[in-house]
Structure 1
């Protein structure tokens, strides 16, 4: 018997949270379980390889959730990829709330926040066994940086990009002040060594 997602009485609330927020746990667990099933290997360690701070404001990142009745139904994040580019990560919709356009809203919210922080470009990769994600990014204006005619498994991680319109006014982070220079200019660091990181993007 199939389950039809209920229609909410109002739009989900958008909240910005750290990775340590307990409401993020269900997101990462279900995402890891789904990736593990699709790719035949444990994906939970891979999802945890970025330091939590990379998804926080001081480091040029953000993690957001869509909440209904206080429970997360969708979410996503971005991290600083380079001085002009944010990289989307962790785009997820709870399995009980799919086919409602929530992933589109998450992507739109992340794009808006990235542009407000001065990023001019979005970059992301999605895995070759995630046709829904590929379709989402094509439908929301992302340019594929690979041959669409090629078999996804021969490409590996499927890269996309999208150029953003940056607001005229600078973004003011919580606590006052504005960002000057490159977004997240404090950079990113390896979780174990603290050294600057330039590793390639993970499968999303």
Structure 2
């Protein structure tokens, strides 16, 4: 696996953004007609150095996973767009992407990572718990009651 830092308009990022859009649409639908309609609508500068990054993990040149972070505050990076291709899931690629994003964030001076995931993404919740993230919600409540699931992790 090779990690490549890309811009939002890079062709390597296309499969990540397109697949995320389909995935979110299948899990959540269009709540108000615009959710996840275009993940490219984020300002590309948010995910560009020095405050952010967008990475794509490739195997033999094929994009298989990826993710990004942007500046949340002076000491915190916010993880976004964590993705693994449906054809490459259950191989640990998501955990490798999260670890790489944490490594880059620490290298850039961030001491904390923050992220949110949705109530219909139990795989993501499992990934973040396994990676040592602290849930910032009552874990005894149902996913539907919680809504958006926030997490944090201190970087060493």
Decide: shared fold, TM above 0.5.
Answer: yes
Hey, what does 1:78 align to over in structure 2? 69
Q: 1:51 aligns with which of 33, 43, 55?
A: 43
In terms of fraction of residues, the more strand-rich structure is 2
How far the C-alpha of 1:46 sits from its partner, in A, is 5.8
Unaligned runs of 5+ in 1: 1-11, 166-204
**How many residues are matched?**
153
Q: Does 2:18 correspond to 1:29?
A: yes
Pairing 1:112–2:124 present: no
RMSD: 1.1
Partner of 1:131: 122
Higher helix share: 2
1:68 aligns with 2:66: no
Q: Does the Cα contact within 8 Å between 2:56 and 2:64 map onto a contact in 1?
A: yes
- Residue 98 of structure 1, CA deviation: 0.5
Answer with 1 or 2: which has the greater Rg. 1
Contact 1:75 1:91 in 2 (8 A): yes
Once the two structures are TM-superposed, the CA of residue 50 in structure 1 deviates from its matched residue by 2.0
For residues 28 and 154 of structure 2, the distance between their equivalents in structure 1, rounded to whole angstroms, comes to 30
**TM-score in terms of structure 1 length:** 0.73
In the alignment, structure 2 segments of 5+ residues that lack a partner are none
Distance 1:80 1:21 in 2: 21
Runs of 4+ in 1 over 6 A off after TM superposition: none
Give the TM-score normalised by the residue count of structure 2. 0.94
